[in-house]
Amino acid sequence: MNKTVNQKAWFLVLPVLLLVAFNAIVPLMTVVNYSVQETFGNNVFFWAGISWFEDVLRSPRFHDALGRQLTFTFTILLIEVPLGVIIALAMPRKGIWVSVCLVLMAMPLLIPWNVVGAMWNIFALPEIGLLGKTLNAIGFDYNYTRQTGDAWFTLILMDVWHWTSLVVLLAYAGLVSIPDAYYQAAKIDGASSWAIFRYIQLPKMKRVLTIAILLRFMDSFNIYTEPSVLTGGGPGNSTTLLSIDLVKIALGQFDLGPAAAMSLIYFLVILLMSWIFYTVMTRDEANQ
Amino acid sequence: MLELKNIAKRVGAETHIHPTSLEFKPGSFNILLGTTLAGKTTLMQLMAGLEKPTAGEIWFGGVDVTGVAVQKRNVSMVYQQFINYPNMSVYDNIASPLRVGGVDSAEIKRRVGAMAELMRISAMLDRRPSELSGGQQQRTAMARALVKDSDLILLDEPLANLDFKLREELRDELPKLFGTRECVVVYATTEPTEALLFGGVTAALHEGRVADFGPTGDVYRQPATLTGAQVFSEPPINTVKVNKSGDRVSADGNVNWAAPADLPDGDYIVGIRAHHIVPVETPGSVPIDGTIKIAELSGSESMVHFDAFGSDWVSLSHGVHPFDAGAAATLYADMSACFYFTPDGKLVRSGETGGGR
């Protein structure tokens, strides 16, 4: 059978194409352009080939920042995902408390990121902050501006406070979509609450949890504002995550070439890891 | 035997089930017939023990089980949605009630195999429920409910979410599955046809009350109440207020017909099912002049909604009878087949059998 050929339909794709071009492809290409050139200012550029990429990949500074980034991301994932699921399970399913809980949960998500950073910066100050002062008063030698461990503790606590809600909301959405009949059927079978969680709630939440983990992974890998306001990457370089290091190189030292090369590697790392995450988490369904 | 003794269920200020007493015999197939929100599901949950009645008692096999938790009663339930454990194979799903019950694995294997054979899902035992068609998923759920020897099996509109073909297929098989069992089977449905196909015993439910209860054929042919007749009629039964005096029955002077000899004078409500009003004149039928509202023609049947002396009427007839909406038409009612109810809805005379029940 002959299909009607109508190429005019392509015009409908044009707006999206233009939009994506301007907000993604063009900026990305600019970065690609910088990453293969050297400049000493005055808009004069020299061809540098892939030397920047080699430099970045070999530099211990990049390795350290990447290591810190991975530690941060996996720590917060290990805390936020189980914690989010536990909170979602504990939330009421009906009644007026549902909206109260949802609003309370959504609150941290509504606060601008730099405000979160500033809040925790003050909150954790050992001399005047509520958290810092309390910790010192009960006998901990706590000072996040000077001690690496304390800085990490504060950074992770802040992220957990800020973002666990996202996991809670997604997990909760997954939970309330389970028909009542499943719980009744389990009750008739005499299933324990662990069995209900293991065989009904968890499998039914799988899809939303996949999304939650992916979102939290990407966002935490991209995180900049909050740690930058909280610790500025310090003390020393101890909390300098990839994005903070990138800004230091690009805007602090104005090394456009290495910064561009690093951006691209950074981007590829996120892309690759998201793909791995997604493939692993959806492998079950793909097999079937 | 399952006995409901005056049970009622109230939630807050709402009454879901008015005081109800019913008896279900072992080995019987019982149907709860009623529209959505009639209280079928609530009644089943009360029977199962998933909900506690606010009043009354539930007895099973001569024992009061009102306060006994659901997992301690030997009950199975199949739902309208296809409820299976999502990440277990079909085999594990069917085996799950046996495993909880502590049956040994050789016996589990034998019973799951036999049940899968009966349900015709033997080839799917290794798959997950999400890889099955809707019909197969529901077969799995039914297998899970039937594999343990429950004393009470509750089926809450199990075929409602299936497409027509699958529904007919399962509908044919269902009664055979319970044939030899000594358990009480309760089947909830919104469809009068389904009740008639299954036979057994029917309880017609309306707004939390039992409008009629008895052998399905009797409930259909001699509904004890007008409400019962309304629940058990699809399309809806036509009703009209009439007065009988002498040898004539008259509907507000609009139409009249010869009265049955055994009917005392007085006011009645007449109920006449749609298939007793047809577009073709038959001997002894009563002509009704009206205006056509909607005519729905399927391949072999015509359903006509029309308006006559201020009320809505429905006619259902064999064959294709084209009508134009808005046109005047005459339809013929076979009043010898109608029901006479008292003004408060009690059956006085059934046209299908003569006399009451």
pLDDT in tens, A103-146: 999 999 999 988 998 889 888 888 888 888 888 888 888 888 88
Q: Which residues of chain B have pLDDT under 70?
A: 352-357
A contact residues 151-210, partner B, Cβ 8 Å cutoff: 179, 181-182, 184-185, 187-191, 199-200, 202-204
Tell me which residue in A179, A189, A190 faces B81 most closely, judged by beta carbons: A179
Position B355 in a domain:
no
What is the average pLDDT score of chain B? 87
Do β-strands B201-206 and B29-33 pair in parallel, antiparallel, or remain unpaired?
Answer: parallel
Domain-located, residue B357 = no
Considering only the beta carbons, identify the residue of A182, A202, A288 that sits closest to B83.
A182
Kindly report the CATH number assigned to the domain that includes residue B339: 2.40.50.140
Q: pLDDT, tens digit, for every residue of A267-278?
A: 888 889 889 888
Report ipTM for this prediction: 0.75
**pLDDT of res. A288:** 44
Domain that holds residue B48: 2-231
Rounded to whole angstroms, how far apart are CA atoms B294 and B302?
Answer: 10
Q: How many structural domains does chain B have? A: 2
Interface of B with A in 242-281 (CB under 8 A): none
- The per-residue b/e assignment along B304-321, b for 16 or more CB within 10 angstroms, e otherwise, is bbbebeeeebbbbbeeeb
Strands B328-333, B152-156: pairing is: unpaired
Averaged pLDDT, A238-260: 81
Does residue A226 belong to any structural domain of this protein? yes
Domain of A201, CATH number, reads 1.10.3720.10
Tell me the pLDDT tens digit for each residue of A60-114: 888 888 899 999 999 999 999 999 999 999 998 888 899 999 999 999 999 998 8
Residue B261 falls inside a structural domain = yes
Of B71, B81, B88, the CB nearest to A188: B71
Count how many domains chain A has.
1
Identify whether A66 is part of a domain: yes
Q: Is residue B186 part of a domain?
A: yes
A234 confidence band (pLDDT: 50, 70, 90): confident
| Contact status, residue A68 vs residue A274, Cβ threshold 8 Å | no
Q: Please check whether residue A283 touches B, CB under 8 A.
A: no
**Is B61 inside a domain boundary?**
yes
A237, A217 Cβ separation under 8 angstroms? no
Range of the domain at A202: 60-287
Indicate if B316 and B334 belong to the same structural domain: yes
